Each structure stands twice: as structure tokens, then as C-alpha cells.
């Protein structure tokens, strides 16, 4: 999922302080799972903002809404009849949702309420860690299902850098060395011979070389 | 007199573009550069233009600065992060390079290493800011330098844009000048009328706008540029002139020389001569412009 983290409320206030009618717009997908931008967080942020403006003696209307997704036209259409009534929308969706909302409602400023961080997984409640950088050319089959692009600090593709100590990365003693994990996993799979193979030089053109990417699936297009 | 003083004195300056080699044989580069010694005012050394891998601008500029004459080293945001950019700028200054031209850099997809990952750790305004900081004696982390570089800083401007795009370009140009840019190189210019809206808004006699005079090599190239290069216009009249010329190469050189003369007469601060591989013709273009 896309993992996001809440923005400091001071930053959000800085962006909306001149408006008087504001919609806090949550998303029921990834940001709900990582507890940054779902219905619950919409309620918490709206309450905090109401309290702030009340203390400031400002009459500001803060409304709440949470859509199933903000990255789909279909769900964003649900606020078609009300969007223009607001001076601003604070979107608690990921960067995709913020942009899609802004594209759909040109006349209303759409302000991000979260920082979109990475593609990751829930390790335990309250701990999400990165697993994928969406490089566009998955090499997990060669690396025992552990991604050196997202999990190695140096993103190196042919074995450890030599800086790890006791299986931990040189940049942070709490961070596993991705290549130690890969080697352990390949060993467990009886495929350590794979480790001896030098990877072909990675084609980053599927990453961001060449600009924003598209996936076109003619077989599912209407 | 160095390039900075020539600009300040209002002299018309001629920059000659010399591409470093794709390899380590520098003989052709040095020979071509030596041919313009005493004719051009400085050599502009591009940093892997069009994202085609070749010797770095730093390497080329160091060699040419030592063996031939003053250089302007291009520095771009595509290939280096902030550590490497600053490190190379320090190296350049310590090796006597006093002129730099900061650019964004073309995407790797334009070049011959299309699988490369572009860096763009910092963008052009940030690069200009970091150059300013280095000149003030501090790096981007705010740490004091042991000796600070001093550069004549250039960048780019695109006067061929129209309408709102031109207005945005003028805003960008002002930002660059405010960030310490002292000269601005523009794309190839074949027709002054094509930048008339720009010239109405900018006093090119006060701002150091440096048009690129690109050496045409054939009728086909002229047509291609007119059809495919955004905001660069080659007039039908010029294409016809080339078509009719019995000696097309001589005519191409003559056209470039004439363009230099016209731009000098129009009060531009200078020109950049670009030949895309015909660098052995640079001297002829300059000679022709003075004749």
C-alpha cells in the first residue's frame, strides 16, 4: 500500500488560515490502513482545526467527508455538488488523491494534509516499512523476494557494500542489511548459487528516466 | 582581459563551443580549440550535451584551460548530486576555470544511455543558489570553505517563446539574474524577427543575452531545424539561398559569419558559435564575420 504520515497541524493551518469554509476529505484506502487519512483521522483533524479557529476567534466552517478512493473518477464525483462551496479542500489522501481531486475541481485549492512516504507494509500496529520503489522492472525473482532497490540504503544490486556489521546496515544499527537478508533467504531456498551471478546493469528507463510513467492495458480498456 | 572584464567593458564576445571527445584522445579537441586561439574570447565546454556520454566538461575545460585559452565549463543537474556538483565546482575553480554555465540538462532518454537514471538532486535555481553560496565561502550545508571559488556565471534563456510562455521565461530570467547569472545563452537564432516580442520586453544591450549561432551543414539540416526544433525559425528565404548555392558548405559558413556580424551590429553582448562536430570550421566563421 501507499504509506503516508500526518502533516504537522501547524503546516496545515498555515495553508488554510485565510479560508472560512473548508472540507477535510479523507480516503478509505491505503491512508486509512496506515492511519493517516481515513475517516478517523479526518474527524481528529477537523476537531483540532475547529478548536484552533475558535481560540483565534475566527468563524470557520470545517466539514468532513471520506470517499472510498480519491484516485478514481467515480468516487470523486460524489462531491461534485458540494466541492465548489468550499474555499479549500484539505485532502488526507496520498499525493495521487490530492492531485486527482485538484484536477477534477479546478476552482478550489486542494491542500495536502499528509506526507506521502513510500510503498510499504504494516509490520505491527503503528510501524510501516518500505518494501517497493516502483522501479518498473521487478527483480525480486532473482533476490529471494527481498528488494535491494527499496531496502538497501545504497540500492546496490550485486551483493553487500561491505559496510554492514552483524547483519545491520552501516547507516542505522536498527536497519537490516538488505543483502544479508537476501543471502539468508537464498540459502534457505537452496539457491545460493544465484547469488554468484552478476546482475545485468539495471535499466532505469522503467523508473523515472523519460518522465512520468503510464501503464496502458488495451485488453481492459472500454 | 578576461571574459568578465570584456562583458563589463561592453566588448562583443565570441564563445566557441568545443565538445570534449568520446574517448581519451584529446588531440582533435585541442587542435580545433587552438585554431580559434586569438579569434574567440573563450571556449564553451558542454557537459554531455543531449545526454550523450563523453568526457566531462570538467575534464575538457581543465585540458583546454591549461593548453589553449579561457574556458566556460557547463555544469548540469542531470548527472550529479549536490555533493558532486559542489566538489566539481571547487575542482574547476582550483584548476583555473573562471567561467561556468549552469543548465538543467536534457533527460537521459535523449541520449545514448537511455537506461541511465537521471539525478536532479537539485534543480537549476538551487544550483545557482549553491554556486552563490560557494562564492560566499560556504557549501550547501553551511560549512565554511577553505578558500572560495569565484566564477563568471552564465545560464540559459529562450527568447523564441511566445505569449504566456515568454512571460514565464522572463520571470525565470529575472530569477536567474537575481541569483547572480551574468550572461544568458539562447538557442540557435537564424532570424531576428522570430524573437521580436522578447526584444521588445528586454533590453539586450543591457542584459548579456548571447544568441547561439549554429552552423548549418546542409539544406536538410536547415529544414529539419525549422520543422522540428521548437521556437527556432529558419526562414524559407535562407533555405532557398542554401538550395541555390553552388558550394553549400561555404555558404553555410558564410551564413554563420553574417549572423555573427548582424548580432554584433544589433548590439548583442556576444555570440556562442556551435558547429556540432565541425569545430575545425570555427575559425573560418569568426574570420568571415570580421571580413
Give pLDDT tens digits along chain A (222 positions). 999 999 999 999 999 999 999 999 999 999 999 999 999 999 999 999 999 999 999 999 999 999 999 999 999 999 999 999 999 999 999 999 999 999 999 999 999 999 999 999 999 999 999 999 999 999 999 999 999 999 999 999 999 999 999 999 999 999 999 999 999 999 999 999 888 888 889 999 999 777 889 999 999 988
Query: What local confidence, expressed as pLDDT, does residue A143 receive?
Result: 94
Length of chain A: 222
> For chain B, how many residues are written?
291
Name the 3-class secondary structure at B163.
helix
Whether residue B81 lies within 8 A of chain A, CB to CB, comes out as no
Virtual torsion, Cα B171, B176, B180, B181, nearest 10 deg? -120
d(CA B96, CA B73): 11
Q: Which residues of A touch B108 (CB under 8 A)?
A: 205, 209-210
Q: Measured between alpha carbons, how far is B235 from B193 in angstroms, rounded to an integer?
A: 10
Provide the 8-state DSSP code for B108. Answer: G
What's the angle, vertex CA B65, arms to CA B189 and CA B38, rounded to 5? 65
Cα angle A98, A102, A108 (rounded to 5 degrees) comes to: 120
Helix axes B248-265, B236-244, angle to 10 degrees: 140
- Tell me what pLDDT residue B240 has: 96
Burial of A155 (0-12, 13-18, 19+ CB in 10 A): middle
| Reported ipTM | 0.85
A203–chain B Cβ distance below 8 A for any pair? yes
Q: Is B27 helix (H, G, I), strand (E, B) or coil?
A: helix
Check if A201 contacts B (Cβ < 8 Å): yes
Name residues whose C-beta falls within 8 Å of residue A193's C-beta, 6 or more positions apart in sequence: none
Domain residue spans of chain B: 3-216+258-290
pLDDT at B152: 97
How many Å apart are CA B68 and CA A81, to the nearest integer? 70
First-last CA distance in chain A: 26
How many C-beta atoms surround the C-beta of residue A216 within 10 A?
7
User: What is the spatial distance between Cα A185 and Cα B111, in angstroms, rounded to a whole number?
Assistant: 38
Determine whether the interchain pair A205/B118 forms a contact, defined as Cβ–Cβ distance below 8 Å: no
**Rounded to an integer, what distance in angstroms lies between the CA atom of residue B101 and that of residue B17?**
12
* B3-216+258-290 is a CATH 3.90.1300.10 domain: no
> How distant, in Å, are the alpha carbons of A42, A166, A211, B18, B109 from that of B78?
40, 36, 13, 20, 12
Q: Would you call A200 an interface residue with chain B, using a CB distance cutoff of 8 Å?
A: no
- B81 phi and psi, to 5 degrees? -85, 180
Question: Distance from A135 to chain B by nearest Cα, in Å?
Answer: 11
| Distance of alpha carbon B151 from alpha carbon B2, whole angstroms | 12
With an 8 Å Cβ cutoff, are A208 and B115 in contact? no
- From the list A15, A74, A6, A8, the residue with the least C-alpha distance to A41 is A6
Q: How far is Cα B187 from Cα B256, in angstroms, rounded to an integer?
A: 14
Chain A contact set for B115 (CB, 8 A): 201-205, 209
pLDDT at A127: 96
CATH superfamily to which A2-118 belongs: Response regulator (3.40.50.2300)
Regarding beta strands A21-27 and A61-67, do their DSSP bridges make them parallel or antiparallel, or are they unpaired? parallel
Best mutation target, B116, B119, B120, B121, to test chain A (most A CBs within 10 A):
B116
The CB density around residue B178, as the number of other CB atoms within 10 Å, is 11
- CB contact (8 A) between residue A204 and residue B115: yes
List of residues 6+ apart from B38 with CB closer than 8 A: none
Each domain of chain A, given as residue ranges in start order, spans 2-118, 133-201
Q: What is the pLDDT along chain B (291 residues), one digit of tens a residue?
A: 899 999 999 999 999 999 999 999 999 999 999 999 999 999 999 999 999 999 999 999 999 999 989 999 999 999 999 999 999 999 999 999 999 999 999 999 999 999 999 999 999 999 999 999 999 999 999 999 999 999 999 999 999 998 999 999 999 999 999 999 999 999 999 999 999 999 999 998 889 999 999 999 999 999 999 999 988 999 999 999 999 999 999 999 999 999 999 999 999 999 999 999 999 999 999 999 987
**How far apart, in whole angstroms, are the C-alpha atoms of residue B121 and residue A208?**
13
Q: Cβ contact (<8 Å) for A204 and B117?
A: yes
* Contact across the interface for B116 and A204, Cβ inside 8 Å: yes
Amino acid at each position: 500500500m501507499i504509506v503516508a504520515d500526518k502533516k504537522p497541524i501547524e503546516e496545515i493551518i498555515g495553508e488554510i488560515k485565510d479560508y472560512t469554509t473548508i472540507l477535510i476529505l479523507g480516503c478509505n484506502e491505503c491512508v486509512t490502513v496506515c492511519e493517516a487519512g481515513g475517516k478517523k483521522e479526518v474527524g481528529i483533524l477537523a476537531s483540532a482545526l475547529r478548536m484552533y479557529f475558535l481560540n483565534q476567534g475566527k468563524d470557520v466552517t470545517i466539514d468532513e467527508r471520506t470517499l472510498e478512493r480519491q484516485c478514481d473518477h467515480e468516487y470523486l464525483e460524489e462531491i461534485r455538488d458540494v466541492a465548489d462551496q468550499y474555499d479549500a479542500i484539505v485532502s488526507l489522501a496520498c499525493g495521487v488523491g490530492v492531485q486527482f481531486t485538484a484536477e477534477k475541481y479546478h476552482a478550489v485549492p486542494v491542500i495536502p494534509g499528509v506526507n506521502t512516504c513510500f510503498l510499504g507494509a504494516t509490520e505491527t500496529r503503528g510501524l510501516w516499512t518500505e518494501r517497493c520503489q516502483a522501479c518498473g522492472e521487478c527483480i525480486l525473482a532473482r533476490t529471494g523476494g527481498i528488494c535491494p532497490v527499496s531496502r538497501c540504503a545504497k540500492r546496490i544490486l550485486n551483493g553487500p557494500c561491505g559496510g554492514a556489521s552483524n547483519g545491520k546496515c552501516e547507516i542505522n544499527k536498527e536497519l537490516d542489511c538488505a543483502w544479508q537478508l537476501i543471502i539468508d533467504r537464498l540459502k534457505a531456498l537452496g539457491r545460493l548459487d544465484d547469488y554468484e551471478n552478476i546482475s545485468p546493469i539495471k535499466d532505469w528507463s522503467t523508473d523515472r528516466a523519460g518522465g512520468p510513467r503510464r501503464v496502458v492495458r488495451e485488453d481492459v480498456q472500454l | 582581459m578576461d571574459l568578465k572584464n570584456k562583458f563589463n567593458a561592453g566588448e562583443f564576445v565570441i564563445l566557441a563551443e568545443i565538445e570534449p571527445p568520446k574517448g581519451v584522445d584529446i588531440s582533435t579537441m585541442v587542435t580545433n580549440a587552438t585554431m580559434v586561439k586569438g579569434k574567440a574570447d573563450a571556449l564553451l565546454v558542454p557537459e554531455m550535451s543531449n545526454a550523450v556520454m563523453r568526457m566531462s566538461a570538467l575534464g575538457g575545460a581543465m585540458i583546454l584551460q591549461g593548453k589553449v585559452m579561457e574556458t566556460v565549463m557547463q555544469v548540469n543537474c542531470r548527472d550529479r548530486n549536490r555533493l558532486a556538483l559542489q566538489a566539481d565546482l571547487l575542482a574547476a575553480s582550483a584548476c583555473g576555470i573562471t567561467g561556468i554555465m549552469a543548465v538543467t540538462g536534457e533527460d537521459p532518454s535523449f541520449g545514448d544511455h537511455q537506461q541511465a537514471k537521471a539525478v536532479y538532486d537539485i534543480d537549476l535555481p538551487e544550483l545557482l543558489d549553491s554556486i552563490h553560496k560557494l562564492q560566499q565561502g560556504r557549501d550547501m550545508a553551511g560549512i565554511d570553505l577553505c578558500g572560495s571559488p569565484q566564477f563568471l556565471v552564465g545560464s540559459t534563456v529562450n527568447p523564441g517563446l511566445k505569449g504566456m510562455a515568454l512571460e514565464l521565461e522572463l520571470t525565470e530570467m529575472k530569477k536567474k539574474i537575481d541569483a547572480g547569472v551574468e550572461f544568458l545563452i539562447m538557442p540557435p537564432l537564424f532570424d531576428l524577427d522570430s524573437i521580436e516580442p522578447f526584444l521588445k520586453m528586454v533590453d539586450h544591450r543591457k542584459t548579456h543575452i548571447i544568441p547561439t549561432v549554429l552552423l548549418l551543414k546542409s539544406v536538410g539540416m536547415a529544414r529539419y531545424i525549422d520543422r522540428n526544433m521548437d521556437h527556432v525559425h529558419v526562414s524559407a528565404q535562407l533555405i532557398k539561398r542554401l538550395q541555390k548555392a553552388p558550394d553549400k558548405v561555404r555558404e553555410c559558413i558564410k551564413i554563420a559569419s553574417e549572423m555573427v556580424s548582424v548580432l554584433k551590429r544589433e548590439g548583442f553582448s556576444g555570440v556562442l558559435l556551435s558547429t556540432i562536430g565541425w569545430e575545425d570550421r570555427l575559425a573560418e566563421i569568426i574570420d568571415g564575420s570580421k571580413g
